[in-house]
Amino acid sequence: MRNDNERFNGSTSQQFNNGKKPFFKQRKPAPENMLFGIRPVMEAIQSGREIDKVMLKKGLDGELAQELLALIDGHQIPMQYVPQEKLNGLTQKNHQGVVAFASLIEYANLEETIISVIEKGEMPLVLLLDSVTDVRNFGAIARSAECAGVHAIVVPAKGAAQINGDALKTSAGALNLVPVCRVPSLRSAIYFLRDSGIQIVAATEKAEGDLYSATFDKPTAIVMGSEETGISPEIIRTADTLVKIPLCGTIASLNVSAAAAVTLFEAVRQRAVKNN
């Protein structure tokens, strides 16, 4: 006959969970790029560290909290109010109602990047992502962009995928090679690119002309939108050309990472033909 300890240790999961795996879960370790606490996050912002996103507890108030909010606003850092439970799920330490995620890459300046490309005598090829929020799609797009020789990937400060470990892994290192430019306004970035002599080509199923009728063998910025909503109407209105990828099957659209690859390599093909 087993003693009490043997009986308890040997049958706990079966007794309380009907033989299934234990119902308790071990908390995942906090990401290395996670910061918490009002002052540490403020100091990180003030030091110039790139911050992808700040989560604040709903109802957070106080003088220090107001200072933090002013810093977040001044540096145009994406911010989200969340329940206390959400923050508690991220860390058991004293977060003071504030959790931030530092970027795993260093963002590039769009104007400086384009000027550098032009000064080198290269033909700019830029990729703009409007509301692409899935980190794996973003990583896959970055991988295709690097292989296609894209000079810069442009993303908005709000409504873009967080560059985390999953994005970096999916990109196969491309996010450490292609300059990523985070801008306050995608529309303002487009106006700058147009003023720099770069045409804007938006890939959308709403286009009448197909991808292969467009001209990519000149300075070009390609705009891709999210799978859910596509490119926003205000961005579509800024485009010089709208194109769509002709499809032969019954599914209405490609995954955005696949669509980006198809579009980018049509630009590569046309440029290769021109140079030969």
Strands across the sheet with 34-36, in order? 34-36, 98-102, 51-57, 79-82
How many angstroms separate the CA atoms of 261 and 24, rounded?
Answer: 42
Fill in the DSSP letter of residue 151.
S
Percent of the chain with pLDDT over 90: 67
Which run of H or E residues covers position 242? strand 241-243
- What integer pLDDT is reported at residue 31 of this predicted model? 65
**pLDDT category of residue 228 using cuts at 50, 70 and 90:** confident
Helical residues (DSSP H) of the chain, grouped into ranges: 4-17, 38-46, 63-74, 84-90, 110-119, 135-147, 165-170, 186-195, 233-236, 256-275
How many angstroms separate the CA atoms of 235 and 200, rounded?
Answer: 10
**In this predicted model, what pLDDT tens digit does every residue of 207-224 receive, in sequence order?**
988 999 999 999 999 999
Give SS3 for 36: strand
Give 125's strand partners.
220
Which run of H or E residues covers position 52? strand 51-57
- What integer pLDDT is reported at residue 76 of this predicted model? 83
**In this predicted model, what pLDDT tens digit does every residue of 74-98 receive, in sequence order?**
988 889 999 999 999 988 889 999 9
From residue 83, alpha-carbon distances to 80, 87, 159, 217 in Å are 10, 7, 20, 50
Question: Mean pLDDT, to the nearest integer, of 166-191?
Answer: 94
Token pair 């119902």: residue: 23
**pLDDT category of residue 48 using cuts at 50, 70 and 90:** confident
Q: Output b/e per residue, 3-29; b: 16+ Cβ within 10 A.
A: eeeeeeeeeeeeeeeeeeeeeeeeeee
Q: What structural domains does the chain harbor?
A: 34-102 (3.30.1330.30), 110-275 (3.40.1280.10)
How many angstroms separate the CA atoms of 154 and 141, rounded?
Answer: 12
